[in-house]
Amino acid sequence: MLHTCCGPCTLYPLRVLREEGLEPVGFFFNPNIHPYREFRKRMGALREVAERRHLEVIWHRDYGLRNFLREVVFREEDRCEVCYYLRLRETAALARKEGYPVFSTTLLYSPFQQHELIRDIGETLARRFGLSFLYRDFREGYGEGQREAREMGIYRQPYCGCIFSEEERYDKKLRRRRRA
């Protein structure tokens, strides 16, 4: 079961896994994507990838703004860890329930994410749920995947997902402060 954050980030990991002889089932669960119109756009882009690349996807279509904010309030600076955990925990729980022995995530594709933290959370959850976490450093194909997304003409988002990341994307001072 492959947690899928969006369409563009799914292309390269999907290709790599298929080349390895694996056929993933995608799982869209991303309560971190705001605002609502952005959430719909990203679902639309993944739907297009799924149709064109013949990927089966399990959809969680509920917009998760409120639950997400409740989880990160007062720990906004550490929100990414919470965000990874929420998404991977749901993926592991569903994989366990549906009888998939292995899970992974397209979050491992982005050079803008905290890669090692994602790996640690995935491996911790795998132990807890009695599953395997498939780790790959998909970042090496980042350029290739982005090129493919551009050629396909699918929507490519300008910021990570949550309303905080949208603010950082467009407020340069804030972005510098967070990096520091």
Q: Footprint of ligand SF4 on this chain (CB under 6 A)?
A: 32, 79-80, 83, 160-162, 164-165
Q: Which is nearer to ligand SF4, 72 or 100 (CB)?
A: 72
Q: Where are the alpha helices (DSSP H) in 20-162?
A: 36-53, 65-72, 79-98, 115-129, 142-152
Between 151 and 180, CB nearer to ligand SF4: 180
Residue 76 or residue 137: which is nearer to ligand SF4 going by CB? 76
Taking the least distance from each CB to ligand SF4, the nearer of 53 and 63 is 63
DSSP string, 24-52: --EEE--TT--SHHHHHHHHHHHHHHHHH
Q: How far is the CB of 79 from ligand SF4 (least distance, A)?
A: 4
Query: Residue 120 pairs with which residues in a beta bridge?
Result: none
Smallest distance, Å, CB 161 to ligand SF4? 3
- At its nearest, how many Å lie between ligand SF4 and the CB of residue 83? 3
Least distance from C-beta 10 to ligand SF4, angstroms? 16
How far is residue 105's CA from residue 128's CA, in Å, rounded to a whole number? Answer: 17
Spatial separation of the C-alpha atoms in residues 93 and 38, rounded to whole Å: 26
Nearest to 10 by CA among 103, 84, 109, 116: 109
Exposure class string for 5-31: b at 16+ Cβ within 10 A, else e: bbbbbbbbbbbbbeeeeeebbbbbbbb
37, two tokens:
């119109």
Pick the closer one to ligand SF4 by CB: 30 or 49.
30
Distance of closest approach, residue 81 Cβ to ligand SF4, in angstroms: 8
